[in-house]
Amino acid sequence: MSDPAPSSQEHAVVADYDSPWKTVLERYFPDFLAFFFPDAHAGIDWTHGYTMLDKELQKVVRDAELGRRWADSLIRVTSREGDEDWLLVHVEVQGQNQADFAQRMFVYNYRLYDRYAKPVVSLAVLGEPSQSDHGEFGYARWGCRMGLRFPLVSLAAYRTRRTELESSANPFAVVTLAHLSARETAGSPADRYQAKLGLIRSLYRRGLARQDILELFRFIDWVLTLPEGLEQQLWSEVRQFDEEKHMHYLSSIERMAQQKGIEQGIEKGTELGIGEGQAKLLHVLVRQRFGPVPPEIEARIRGARPDQLEQWALQILDARCLDDVFGATGEY
């Protein structure tokens, strides 16, 4: 089952899974294991901490790329049992159970063992349904046997466990709900709007720490993309909700949304050319922060030099109104 294509109503708004999955996996690795792989979580001595070794992972497997995934990580941990003082956990998160997926897990596992001479625990999370709770790859000839069997979790299996997800304080309950909602609402912007708003509101009542709320909002915002008009409507509701709850998270959330706009604008700028790309980026930031762009501001953006566009974009981060960016109203 492949990721559903966006409908024409969505104006080619496509969910980006790579960046958010990588971020939450790095920040919440213990929660990730506790949620998806409790046996592995119980086998680790967390008093010794853990170390992310993603750069080392890329050095080992960069010439063995077999298929596309949302995230992969290598983590050094300390075991509670056995003679080994430390071992490696290799995690893969991807959307589809491709034919060569188990083979890739096998290749990564033996290459990592060859490099470090330490046990390597392979774990996998798939976005689509799976017929098994494990993956397997191997071969045997003339009495010689070689292979790998690894735990496998399907996010699709949580579709019938929404009540459990909605009451859980584990960050990956929110991550899983966001993923399921993205799949289920791919063809309906209106349904996606309601799902995204509901998930954002749920962050406030889960008893999460402030930074956790902000990080999970970032994940929801990246995965549940909306057309521009609905995005503006959503921001208006979130702002009202934030004020009613007296949470005062909105300024931080807005900064994250602006950074997302900057990243998307930079990418678009590469396609359009620097000057046109900067103007496109500034237009997106102004609309996202202050709503519809007045015609006089549109004209100034179109006619501005690249250095002026850059200055206005930087001023948006701390601006309270359009005047703080472009000058007094009379100067428009």
Give the per-residue pLDDT at 266: 42
> What are the residues whose beta carbons fall under 8 Å from the beta carbon of 182, sequence distance 6 or more?
15, 192, 223, 224
User: What b-and-e string marks burial along 33-51, b requiring 16 or more CB atoms within 10 Å of the CB?
Assistant: bebbbeebbebbeeeeebe
User: For residue 239, which amino acid is it?
Assistant: R
**Ranges of the chain whose pLDDT falls below 70:** 1-19, 61-71, 82-85, 87, 94-97, 242-278, 317-318, 328-332
Give which of 94, 99, 80 is closest to 123, Cα–Cα.
94
- Rounded Cα distance between 141 and 155, Å, is 36
Q: Is 120 left (phi over 0), alpha (psi -120 to 50) or beta?
A: beta
**Long-range Cβ contact pairs of 201-206 (< 8 A, separation 24 or more):** 201/241, 202/166, 202/174, 203/174, 204/241, 204/245, 204/247, 206/169, 206/174
pLDDT of residue 262: 44
**In the numeric block, which tokens belong to residue 273?**
């050319």
**pLDDT for the residue 72:** 77
Give the pLDDT confidence score for residue 165 in this predicted structure: 92
Contact 279, 308 (CB under 8 A): no
pTM of the predicted model, to two decimals?
A: 0.68
Cα(36)–Cα(50) distance, rounded to whole angstroms?
18
Tens of pLDDT, residue by residue over 263-287, are: 444 444 444 444 566 677 777 778 7
Alpha helices in the chain (DSSP H): 18-27, 29-36, 38-42, 54-61, 101-116, 162-167, 171-184, 189-205, 210-223, 228-245, 250-272, 274-290, 295-303, 306-316, 322-326
- Of the candidates 196, 168, 209, 301, which has an alpha carbon nearest to the alpha carbon of residue 257? 196
Rounded CA gap, 87 and 120, in Å? 6
